[in-house]
Structure 1
Amino acid sequence: MTATTTAAAPSTWLTARRLDRAEQLLIVLFWSALVYRVWQSPNPFWPVVLFTETSVLLFVLLRRPTDAISMRFGDWLLAITATAAPMLIVPVQIPTAMVPLESIALGLVATGNVVQLGGKMFLRRSFGVAPANRGIKTGGMYRFVRHPIYAGYLMIHLGLLMMMPSLTNFLLYAIGWWAQILRLLAEENLLGQDPEYRAFMTKTRWRLVPGVF
């Protein structure tokens, strides 16, 4: 992996470490706004939203700094969009017509949280938002898909949309997942410069959903 790909020139003020800290600050701000909104929500499932997004916050704050991080503005924009969009959802009251689907929605959210937390616990301080190489992990849930944390998010977001259906939330999740897929591909482009990750790609075929993508 070459320095020209992963780090800025020494003479510039925009360094990987400063971007790392700016990313953490943005996540704190978005999370704080989410707490303010859900605390006033009439939807009884608002703690579920807060639990998921708080795990993102904690792992971002505790992660290991790195200089092997993308310095491309587009990659950062995708990462922030994919992370922030779910934090902007509005926890509206669940419609009566959706009440029979509560158990399915809760099952998706619960399963998704197990998957995403399992992936984060395996990464530990290697977790990040913007594309970066904080160490290659290939065990645990990474034996099944290359991005188990994102797979967990997908299940959670589908379940939350069933609990809190609205056009605004649908659009936020649609924008978030458009950015998420592009972010995932940007991560693989950066990590693919590492021979260990290229070997991992040949061993674990699927990125997100086994048999689909």
Structure 2
Amino acid sequence: MKQQLQLPDSAAIHLLLGCVMAALWGLFAYRHMLAFHNTGDWSYLMVCISETLTATFFVFRSAPATVSADPLDWLFALAGTFTPLFFAPASWGLLPAAKALVFVGIGMQIFGLLSLNRSFALVAAKRKIKTRGMYRLVRHPLYASYWVIFTGYILANTTWMNFVLYVMTMGFLFVRLVREEKHLALDPAYGQYMQQVRYRVIPFVF
């Protein structure tokens, strides 16, 4: 059975993660607020809002009963969370109109966060299982929203560095999702939820 780490033992780690996230978010926000000021492109402001929502829900998340102590769970969770914060605005895009996907993705993210509420987590953790709202459609609506947001962003802000970060982020998120479900499935209630909602991210596809 996968190891579990009791919350009191990880308090210092969560504090450190909060500080790192705050620093990276500050740099990300500065870049995109400056791009919004210089170009008037609202997609930059919306991406900034998206990452702010993630950071806010992370800070005010509820305390879990247990947190996975598997190093790989931590590695992929942190990599998938922090890598997008290195995205940078670009003066050229392969498909500039794709910035509309950013708005669609953020709408999905907001509904997903409202459905999840304070059960938000970076590393796989046991909290109250959410089965309402968007969680009636797919088991991981937030992952779906991130994929839409990041795809729209990279198509509208195409550079080699952004592309490499995008590929890394997509890979990290996929592995993170699979490993997270393995941890959550240790709870029989979540196993039952998986039977009720069969698709992870995209209804009738995956």
TM-score > 0.5, shorter chain as reference: yes
1:113 corresponds, among 106, 109, 115, to: 106
Q: Distance in 2 between matches of 1:121 and 1:70?
A: 24
Runs of 4+ in 1 over 4 A off after TM superposition: none
Tell me which amino acid in the other structure corresponds to 1:26: V
In structure 2, the residue corresponding to 1:152 is in which secondary structure? helix
Q: Give structure 2 stretches of 5+ with no counterpart.
A: none
Identity percentage of aligned residues: 30
Q: Name stretches of at least 5 consecutive residues in structure 1 with no aligned partner.
A: none
Q: Equivalents in 2 of 1:190, 1:16: separation in Å? A: 17
One-letter amino acid of the counterpart of residue 38, structure 1: H
TM-score, L = length of structure 1: 0.87
Q: 1:139 aligns to what?
A: 132
Question: 2:200 aligned with 1:207, yes or no?
Answer: yes
The answer to whether residue 87 in structure 2 is matched with residue 89 in structure 1 is yes
Please state whether the residue corresponding to 2:107 is helix, strand or coil: helix
CA distance in structure 1 between the partners assigned to 2:115 and 2:162 by the alignment: 30
Q: Deviation of residue 117 (structure 1)?
A: 1.2
Q: Tell me, in whole angstroms, the C-alpha distance in 2 between the residues paired with 1:179 and 1:125.
A: 23
38 and 105 in structure 1: CA distance in 2 versus 1, 3 angstrom threshold: closer
Partners of 2:198 and 2:163 lie apart in 1 by 30
Candidates 2, 5, 9, aligned match of 1:15: 9
The residue type paired with residue 61 of structure 1 is V
Shift of 1:206: 0.8
Q: What's the C-alpha RMSD, in Å, of the aligned pairs? A: 2.0
Question: What does residue range 34-73 of structure 1 map to in structure 2 within 5 Å?
Answer: 34-41=28-35, 42-43=38-39, 44=41, 45-73=43-71
Native 8 Å contact 2:47 2:102 kept in 1: no
Q: Aligned partners of 1:34 and 1:163: how far apart in 2?
A: 17
- Judged with a 3 Å threshold, the aligned counterparts in structure 2 of structure 1 residues 152 and 71 are, in CA distance, closer, same or farther, namely same
Number of matched pairs: 202
